[in-house]
Amino acid sequence: MSEDLHAKAKKLLSQSAVEGLQPAEERWLRSHLAECTECARDAAAIQEGLRALRTVPVLVPKDLAARTQLRVRLRVQELSTATNGNYGLWLVAAASWLLGVFSAPLVWKVFAWAGGNFGVPKLALEMGFVIWWTVPALVAVSVVLHRRVVGAGSKGI
């Protein structure tokens, strides 16, 4: 049981240094540290280590904030351009789908006429009809994949 208390105290010590504690946990930890010299030494060592880390000088370039802001703006612009480019693709895909739905009876009549006049089997007509409507989807997929490959290649990925 004593080992569980020490493990809990060490966990709470770490948590208090990083993210803080709930009031009940903080009260428990203070009372445990008052009773346990080993955990109190660990707490003092942690505090001393944190103080030492805070005194280490960190040299930061003067223009670091400006450079970071510039990179963030460029990334936002890059993402915005990529997203806006896909809206056009979605619009074209939606228009293609709507045109396909409304023109399907007419296209089927053309296929039936061609099949009747040239003696093409019905299965070949049906396959041709399916292929006729899958070509726009295949073109759209190839455009998306091409844009991804070109985009990844320009980023050096």
Sign of CA dihedral 60, 65, 66, 69: positive
Residues 68 and 51 in one domain: no
- For the whole model, what pTM was predicted? 0.38
Give the span between the Cα atoms of 157 and 7, in whole angstroms: 45
Residues 29 and 83 in one domain: no
Residues 42 and 68 in one domain: no
Residues 74 and 130 in one domain: yes
Residues 77 and 131 in one domain: yes
* pLDDT: which is higher, 136 or 2: 136
Give the span between the Cα atoms of 134 and 29, in whole angstroms: 67
Residues 75 and 40 in one domain: no
Residues 51 and 122 in one domain: no
Query: In this structure, are residues 33 and 21 in contact, taking their beta carbons and an 8 Å threshold?
Result: no
pLDDT attached to residue 1: 45
Q: Domain residues for 50? A: 2-55
The answer, yes or no, to whether residue 108 has pLDDT greater than 80, is yes
Percent of the chain with pLDDT over 90: 18
pLDDT attached to residue 84: 60
Residues 81 and 145 in one domain: yes
- In which band, very low, low, confident or very high, does the pLDDT at 27 lie, cut at 50, 70 and 90? very high
- Give the chain's mean pLDDT: 84
pLDDT attached to residue 71: 92
Residues 122 and 103 in one domain: yes
Number of domains in the chain: 2
Closest CA to 92 of 138, 29, 136, 129: 136
